[in-house]
């Protein structure tokens, strides 16, 4: 090693020049690694290459098999996975070293010499991300599903040390508005893995459709998945069975992606009422579709907690998202029981341990700000928060959950979408926050790539003891305008590549011009993977 790298001096001198000065396409990695140095030469993956995992374990074998599966179709090679108790030189070594605590849960080192590639991590997730870096060091044709002749599968000599900035690097997909098949979701899970993203939020329910089977309420999918979708197409029973969800969860876990279910309540749940009209205000199916649950009645809470029980059993995610945005409060004002409950709550001061934070809408957000989310919603959300906590999970909600008030000590995570005020407000109250702002991180609009890339998720004026509550970033691919997977591709990329880099890369290593250069080979890689980049 020393002979190639000459110790730390090479590291130090080459470090800053890589990337910004353009180290060439073969070193163009997105998200940009923390430290990278390059040297002359390369290692060629060929028929003699072996993937060596050490120590032997189910997780490492799965990562080894995943890598072998990535290399196989284009190269025509069947790279074997072998285990050894101690690391051996040569080939591609995936080595777990629990002593490397400095790498955290997801960090890794990758060293390529002329003799082979070694990836070291303290946890399996780090090895998986090292594999994604190795993938991006290989010629883009490695992504082809057909055998490619005449390409040498060379990995340039590099030394990389890398770990993520944030633990939540998310992407929201919206099968409620326009259904996405199980296979389409798997394809997106694969694309997230390529970008070292680790969360896929499934927006499973909304006014246009209910997309997850709940055994206790069979009509949710019998009726709620057959409503016209956002484009008005007749519903055809578009939903995921519980077996489908288990399959998706396992598929995602194999790619170090957590599926976070989002079950909207008490608004954005219009698909419930054609199936169970008794849950609406007035106890009958409303005329419009943007209606809330009639939260003043116990039946709403029973419904919500029964549904959550099944959702929690299906999804191992530590986080359960309950939406809670844009609740249409009009029907509550006309409903006898909701009116009575609101009047009662209005007379009673909020309990001392409840803190309310009104999010000021930012001038740029361009979305309606609902002044009166109401005490009724606050009461309901606090009950749901307690329930999810009692089941050992953490509630996540859009930043409206701050408006109605959360209890001191609540572990609720805020997903901020209505401007940086929501980020600062959450941090100020000690709530973890995911930055998912409109329009910067909304993928269903025409925001420029540079604006998305340059957005800094941690507000500059936030003191470090509050900034630590920012746990990540997320791009939201709302589905109203995306009828087909080709639409989703076209909208998602390349802005998702920018969000991935913000989620992973330390701010000092982010530079838009450098990113644009690195995007050229990533675009070619995405093209080879069949990602559509033109307006359908």
Rounded to a whole number of angstroms, the minimum distance from the CB of residue 201 to ligand ACM is 11
CB of residue 439 vs ligand ACM: minimum separation in angstroms? Answer: 10
Beta bridge partners of 472: 168, 434
| DSSP assignments along 136-194, one per residue | HHS-GGGG-SS---S---EEEEEEEEE--S-SEEEEEE-TTTS---HHHHHHHHHHHHH
Compute the distance between CA of residue 278 and CA of residue 265 in angstroms, rounded to an integer.
16
What dihedral angle (degrees, nearest 10) is formed by the CA atoms of 96, 101, 107, 110? -50
From ligand ACM, Zn ion, none, interface partner of 301 (C-beta below 5 to 8 A by class): none
216 burial type by CB count under 10 A (0-12 exposed, 13-18 middle, 19+ buried): exposed
Choice between 52 and 268, CB closer to ligand ACM:
268
**Residue 338 contact among Zn ion, ligand ACM, none, beta carbon within 5 to 8 Å by kind:** Zn ion
Residue choice 155, 199, 338, 458 for contact with Zn ion (CB under 5 A): 338
Shortest CB 66 distance to ligand ACM, Å: 33
Cβ proximity to ligand ACM, 179 vs 417, nearer residue:
417
Query: With the CA atoms of 437, 440, 442 and 447 taken in that order, what torsion angle do they form, in degrees rounded to the nearest 10?
Result: 160
How many residues touch ligand ACM under the rule CB under 6 A: the total is: 4
Q: Taking the complex as a whole, how short is the minimal distance between the CB of residue 403 and Zn ion, in angstroms?
A: 19
Least distance CB 374 / Zn ion (angstroms): 12
- Confirm if 63 and 123 have CB atoms less than 8 A apart: no
Restricting to residues 322-341, name those near ligand ACM by CB under 6 A. Answer: 325-326
For residue 400, the minimal CB distance to ligand ACM (Å) is: 8
Check binding of 281 to Zn ion (CB under 5 A): yes
What the block records as the tokens of 498 is: 């920018």
Q: Which does 259 bind (CB under 5 to 8 A by kind): ligand ACM, Zn ion, none?
A: none
Q: Which is nearer to ligand ACM, 93 or 365 (CB)?
A: 365
Q: For residues 251 and 369, which CB has a smaller minimum distance to ligand ACM in the complex?
A: 369
In terms of CB distance, is 283 or 536 closer to Zn ion? Answer: 283
Smallest gap from Cβ 329 to Zn ion, in A, equals 10
Tell me, by CB under 5 A, how many residues bind Zn ion.
4
Stretch touching Zn ion by CB under 5 A, among 145-153, 337-345, 445-453, 506-514: 337-345
Q: Is 155 in the site for Zn ion (CB under 5 A)?
A: no
Packed helices 182-194 and 485-492: angle between N→C axes, nearest 10 degrees: 20
The token pair at 457 is 């998720």
DSSP assignments along 478-533, one per residue: --TT--SHHHHHHHHTTHHHHHHHHHHS-GGG--HHHHHHHHHHHHHHHHHTT---
CB of 289 to ligand ACM, least distance (A): 15
Nearer to ligand ACM, 229 or 326 (CB): 326
Q: Which listed option, ligand ACM, Zn ion, none, makes contact with residue 326 (CB within 5 to 8 Å by class)? A: ligand ACM
Residue 88 backbone zone (phi > 0: left; psi -120 to 50: alpha; other: beta): beta
Picked from ligand ACM, Zn ion, none, the partner binding residue 398 (CB below 5 to 8 A depending on kind) is: ligand ACM
**Size of the chain, expressed as the number of residues it contains:** 536
Residue 336 C-beta: closest distance to Zn ion, Å? 8
Segment 372 to 411, residues that bind ligand ACM, using CB under 6 A = 398
Neighbours of 173 (CB within 10 A): 25
We find the least distance from the C-beta atom of residue 14 to ligand ACM, in angstroms, to be 43
Smallest gap from residue 337 Cβ to Zn ion (A)? 5
CB of 396 to ligand ACM, least distance (A): 12
> Which stretch, 118-126, 287-295, 443-451, 504-512, contacts Zn ion (CB under 5 A)?
287-295
> Of 417 and 493, which CB lies nearer to ligand ACM in the complex structure?
417
CA dihedral 239, 240, 241, 244 (to 10 degrees): 160
Position with the least CB separation from ligand ACM: 325
Tokens of 140: 């883009």
Does residue 514 interact with ligand ACM by CB under 6 A?
no
List the one residue from 217, 332, 357, 417 that touches ligand ACM (CB under 6 A).
417
Q: Which of 203, 187, 129, 213 is nearest to 163 (CA)?
A: 129
Closer Cβ to ligand ACM, 125 or 173, answer by number: 173
Smallest gap, in angstroms, from Cβ of residue 471 to ligand ACM?
Answer: 18
418 touches 359 (CB < 8 A)? yes
Q: Residue 374 and residue 191: Cα distance in Å, rounded?
A: 40
- Matching residue, tokens 């957000």: 365
The span from the CA of 240 to the CA of 443, in Å, is 24
Cα separation, 172 vs 24, whole angstroms: 32
x-or-dash string of contact with ligand ACM, 256-295, rule CB under 6 A: ----------------------------------------
Non-local CB neighbours of 38 within 8 Å, separated by 6+ positions: 14, 18, 23, 27, 156, 157, 158
Binding-site string for Zn ion from residue 289 to residue 318, where x marks contact by CB under 5 A and - marks none: -----x------------------------
Which residue, among 222, 223, 230, has the nearest Cα to 203 in the 3D structure? 230
Chain residues in the site for ligand ACM (CB under 6 A): 325-326, 398, 417
Binding site for Zn ion (CB under 5 A): 281, 294, 335, 338
């Amino acid at each position: 090693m020393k002979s190639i790298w000459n110790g730390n001096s090479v590291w130090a001198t080459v470090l800053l020049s890589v990337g910004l000065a353009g180290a060439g396409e073969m070193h163009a990695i997105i998200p940009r690694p923390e430290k990278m140095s390059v040297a002359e030469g390369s290692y060629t993956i060929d028929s003699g290459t072996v993937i060596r995992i050490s120590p032997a374990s189910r997780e490492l074998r799965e990562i080894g098999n995943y890598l072998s599966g990535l290399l196989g179709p284009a190269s025509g090679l069947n790279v074997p996975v072998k285990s050894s108790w101690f690391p051996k030189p040569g080939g591609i070594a995936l080595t777990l070293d629990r002593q490397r605590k400095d790498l955290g849960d997801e960090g890794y080192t990758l060293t390529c010499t002329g003799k082979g590639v070694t990836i070291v991590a303290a946890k399996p997730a780090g090895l998986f991300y090292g594999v994604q870096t190795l993938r991006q060091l290989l010629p883009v044709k490695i992504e082809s599903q057909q055998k490619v002749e005449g390409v040498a599968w060379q990995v340039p000599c590099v030394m990389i040390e890398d770990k993520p900035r944030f633990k939540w690097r998310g992407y929201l997909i919206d099968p409620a508005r326009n259904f996405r098949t199980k296979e389409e979701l798997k394809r997106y899970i694969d694309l997230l893995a390529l970008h070292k993203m680790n969360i896929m939020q499934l927006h499973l329910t909304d006014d246009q459709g209910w997309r997850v089977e709940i055994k206790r309420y069979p009509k949710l999918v019998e009726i709620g998945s057959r409503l016209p979708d956002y484009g008005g197409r007749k519903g055809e029973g578009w939903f995921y069975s519980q077996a489908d969800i288990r399959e998706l969860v396992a598929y995602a876990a194999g790619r170090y992606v957590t599926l976070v279910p989002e079950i909207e309540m008490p608004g954005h749940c219009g698909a419930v009422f054609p199936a169970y009209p008794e849950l609406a205000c007035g106890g009958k199916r409303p005329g419009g579709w943007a209606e809330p649950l009639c939260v003043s009645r116990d039946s709403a809470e029973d419904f919500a907690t029964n549904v959550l029980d099944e959702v929690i059993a299906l999804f191992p995610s530590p986080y359960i998202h309950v939406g809670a945005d844009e609740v249409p409060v009009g029907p509550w004002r006309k409903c006898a029981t909701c009116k009575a409950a609101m009047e009662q709550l209005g007379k009673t001061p909020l309990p001392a341990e409840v803190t309310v934070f009104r999010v000021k809408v930012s001038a740029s957000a361009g979305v309606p700000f609902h002044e009166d989310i109401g005490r009724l919603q606050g009461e309901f959300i606090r009950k749901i928060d307690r329930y999810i906590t009692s089941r050992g999970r953490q509630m996540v909600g859009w930043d409206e959950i701050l408006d109605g008030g959360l209890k001191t000590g609540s572990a609720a995570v805020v997903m901020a979408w209505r401007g940086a005020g929501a980020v600062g407000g959450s941090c100020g109250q000690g709530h973890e926050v995911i930055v998912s702002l409109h329009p910067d991180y909304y993928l269903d609009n025409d925001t420029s790539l540079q604006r998305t890339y340059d957005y800094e998720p941690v507000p500059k004026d936030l003191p470090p003891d509050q900034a630590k509550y920012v746990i990540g970033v997320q791009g939201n691919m709302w589905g109203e305008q995306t009828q087909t997977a080709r639409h989703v591709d076209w909208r998602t990329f390349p802005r998702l590549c920018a969000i991935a880099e913000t989620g992973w890369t330390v701010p000092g290593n982010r530079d838009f011009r450098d990113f644009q250069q690195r995007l050229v080979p990533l675009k070619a890689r995405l093209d080879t993977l069949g990602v559509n980049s033109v307006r359908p």
